[in-house]
Chain A
Amino acid sequence: MHGFANPRRFLSLAAWLTPALLVSGLLLTAGALAWGLLAVPPDRLMGETVRILFIHVPSAWLGMGGWTAIALSSMAFLVWKHPLAAIAARAAAVPGMAFTAICLASGSIWGRPAWGAWWVWDGRLTSMLVLLFLYAGYVALAQAVERDGGSPRIPAIFGLVGAVNIPIINRSVVWWNSLHQPPSITMGKSAIDAEFLVPLLLAVLGFSLLFGGIMLARMRALIAEMQHESRLRRKAQEAGDA
């Protein structure tokens, strides 16, 4: 693992892995969504709106997965002080926030025909909204730290503390009464019929590959910006010395 923390080795790996993940993710996601939209039968209770599952569940998975990536990378940064771990945490923030927003919006669209309401203040929806605000706070904090030259430990600690919300989101439908359905997939068991489960798992895999590619692209962009700024500083110093 530590071998990949070498920026030069990371960049040579990311050079081919970024397009590979993006292309495979886009193809798999497109196939899974087409399957979910055109080939899956309507559900007995939810009718045609069951197809929203194939957008809503992967985006919820990535919204929570994005913050888990921030928390793990932040922990790695605080323990080993490797700057690449801080870059990985920052790279996960914007995609994680985007997928959380897609999850909330698609859930709201699904809620109107299923529950008769666009929004209800129950545990699952509220904790997911809190996650969106945590992402916005993390992005603003990381940008402020970079702009004002603050310690990168500050967003790392925020990333770790915010991870408290992840098990709350996961258990919210068990702990509190909710219109949202209880977990359909648990360790080794699924309450979803194979007709829905197979395209759903493909959609989750496709979106996850895409998320990996987006995160690598964000890491490469952040590294390039840092190298650009340090080269400009060095050139300015050389010009001043001459």
Chain B
Amino acid sequence: MHEGLDQWSFVIAAYTLGIAGTLLLTGWSWISMRRAERRRDEVKRR
């Protein structure tokens, strides 16, 4: 370990990045899927 850095700040940074990235990706995939399926069904109903 180098320079007596605060190890927890690196751990928290990595977890924040990993969790936020995964949640954003999951939410974006789900919302874009629902939106695309709704658009398709609206055209089908018309």
Contact = CB atoms under 8 A, between A and B. Distances in A.
A210 B25 CA distance: 10
Given A52-B14, A105-B17, A106-B18, A228 B26 contact: no
Contacts, number: 112
A221 B36 contact: yes
A52 B25 CA distance: 20
Nearest to A91: B29
A55 B18 contact: yes
B30 A22 contact: yes
B7 to A, nearest CB: 4
Contacts of B25: 94-95, 98, 214
Q: Secondary structure of the A side of the interface?
A: helix
A29 interface: yes
Interface of B: 1-3, 5, 7-8, 10-11, 13-15, 17-19, 21-22, 25-26, 29-30, 32-33, 35-37, 39-40, 43-44, 46
Interface of A: 18, 22, 26, 29, 33, 37, 45-49, 51-52, 55-56, 59, 94-95, 98, 101-102, 105-106, 109-110, 112-116, 207, 210, 213-214, 217-218, 220-222, 224-225, 227-228, 231-232, 235
